[in-house]
Structure 1
């Protein structure tokens, strides 16, 4: 998919992104993009390993319980 872009295309995309968002927003956008990719990878790995019984027998932690109850409190 990205094989036809090449180095000049990537440089143009980077320059346009820098002009549109500015140098102050780029680190925030990069961090958000990285978190999104890591969450996607974690979910995809979980789906691929869903045949294993450990995934189904996962114990609920206090964070899981808190994440479920917070929307109810608001």
Structure 2
């Protein structure tokens, strides 16, 4: 399931797209969409790069967020393990 859409719904959407644009225009539309997504991704990467470079110039530690994310992931796995330990016997009985 992709974004809460079933296979039948995706099929209906594809049929409507083919009816609206025609089969000959679909590759052209897909190429344009791909190029747009690539430009968006490169622009996002450039912004990230500029932010980290300016942070380094100002003496700001840019690795702080990654350290926080690592700590959050560790805590999340510990909590998930505790929940699994507590619900394990319950799940087996069902």
- Taking structure 1 as the reference length, the TM-score comes to 0.64
Q: Deviations over 1:38-58 (max 9, x none)?
A: 0000000111111327xxxxx
RMSD: 1.4
Which structure has more RCO (C-alpha within 8 Å, separation ≥ 6)? 1
Q: What is the aligned partner in structure 2 of residue 16 from structure 1?
A: 16
Gaps of 5+ in 2: 55-94
User: Of Structure 1 and Structure 2, which has the larger fraction of its residues in helix?
Assistant: 2
Partner of 2:43: 43
TM-score (norm 2): 0.51
Question: How many matched pairs?
Answer: 52
Give 4+ residue runs of structure 1 displaced > 2 Å after superposition: none
Tell me the distance in 1 between the aligned counterparts of 2:31 and 2:46.
22
Structure 2 counterpart SS, 1:49: helix
Hey, what does 1:52 align to over in structure 2? 53
Q: Distance in 2 between matches of 1:45 and 1:7?
A: 33
